[in-house]
Structure 1
Amino acid sequence: MKTFTVLLLFCHIAFPMKHSLKFILTSSSGISSFPEFVAVGVVDDVEIGYCDSNSERPEPRTRWMEKIIQNDPQQQDWYTGQCFKIQDNLRANIEGLKQRFNKSEGVDILQRMNGCEWDDKTGDIRGFIQFGYNGDDFITLDLETLTWVAPTSQAVITKHEWDRERSKNLHWKNVLTQLCSNYLKKYVTFGKVFLQSTDRPSVSLLQKTPSSPVSCHATGFYPDRASMFWRKDGEEIQEDVDHGEILHNHDGTFQMRVDLNISSVKPEDWSRYDCVFQFSDVKKDVITKLDKAVIRTNHVPPSEFPVAVIGVVVGLLLLLVCITGLFIWRKMKNNGFQPANKIDEE
């Protein structure tokens, strides 16, 4: 449940602004299957960048972000420096919190979310930064008073310490209202076509063997705000259905799959099933009927092996027999073997 908490922490926060740039940073300890540090950059709910404690450099997650990095290598260097610097800072903070809460073992999660919101109609900018610890809000900076707000008694010590760092809090205000807004406007302008466009997927039906589930596979779609499911007689079904995760493609698009177990589906009922792909904000769905004729598979029944293939196999076996016989004959000759009639003449 802790790993699930990592992904959902701060999700309750909502701002009425039209555009947003957020950086969600997570430092954890006691979770062997999760990196000690993960950072995600998000523009208008679209993931644009990622880095973790196992990677050497931040990874752009959209095609337009890749182009920005290519045109501005200094920005890549800045993100790389920030990624490693923040790792050290959060790691030190989580160790301090563990001592304060007298925790020597178990799972601990410290998150920081910072960024800004921009209303492109009014021009209003709103910056924010806050920390969460083990699933609860821990401390938040009030950019108007440049003081920290502690919702719990455990955060009061941190509040008093950070309130005294006036110059640092002023620096945060400049970063969150000036630098962040400049980046956000640049990203929205440069990525506007991508943020407002959709790439429809290529959908295929795949199956390993006749007894395997039929996988409805969609690839090449953008953005990732999409879903896919199986229907029977026009109604979505959950039984005998396995949903896969949305995965990244190398070109910045996405792929996903949903499997249908057909072991209990009668051949005459196949026409009642179809696979549906849909974007969250696009009305027209991509519908693929369950049809054995369009299923792609690598499985070839024995009865369908080409005659030419059988001929090649037989030819190879004959060649192998000839080579083996030649090898035996040479070996016997080298050992002094002679035909019987030759021995009689001597």
Structure 2
Amino acid sequence: MDQRLKQAVSPHQISDIISLMRKSVHISQTISGCQWDETTGDIFGLWRYGYDGEDLVAFDFKTSTWVRMRPEAFMFKLKLDTDIDSKQHHNFHTLVCPGWLKNYLSYGKNILQRKVSLLQKSSSSPVSCFATGFYPNKAVLFWRKDGDDLHDNVEEGEILPNPDGTFQKSSDLDFSSVRPEDWGKYECVFQLSGLNDDIITKLDQSGIRSNSGKTETRSDGVCV
């Protein structure tokens, strides 16, 4: 999982870069961020400077030194190696940034759990498992019984865009032949790219939102 943070380049660093090359127009770029592998727990920092669309120097987090990507960056690399902020930035990329990523992942999962719901037009209508407000659009929504995927009596909806740039998807289950005592065997599963844990919603009558036959259009365009 990646997060890239823009950082300002100090004036003396900009002048050093410009002195390396003589052109009429110059573009100075900085990429700073981290990567956390949720499965292995490995953490990788990312910190590099670019010039005119090409990598100039990159920070080696194993040796805490800068590596020049172009011969012209030799003096710039030496100055960065003596930068008193290097240790502070190293801690940011390997400690602070991964902590942010873990928090964002937790927040995102909590929000998703509130955005997956069961809807029903009337007591005789299919139950629709509805997920909305998720991003990206690489998501799967399906029903299963006793841990096995269900295909019979299930109507899958397409992933549709919301006005705010997020997405929505529904999956309808016709449970007219399901006995009340078997309801607990059914559950709706939502899987989103980037999240390892599934969002599971049990088929529970008390958790179904219904308007007793009245049809109304919600703000997100879904009729219930």
TM-score scaled by length of structure 2 = 0.48
Tell me which structure has the larger Cα radius of gyration.
Answer: 1
> Is the strand fraction higher in 1 or 2?
2
TM-score scaled by length of structure 1 = 0.33
**Higher RCO (C-alpha 8 Å, min separation 6):** 2
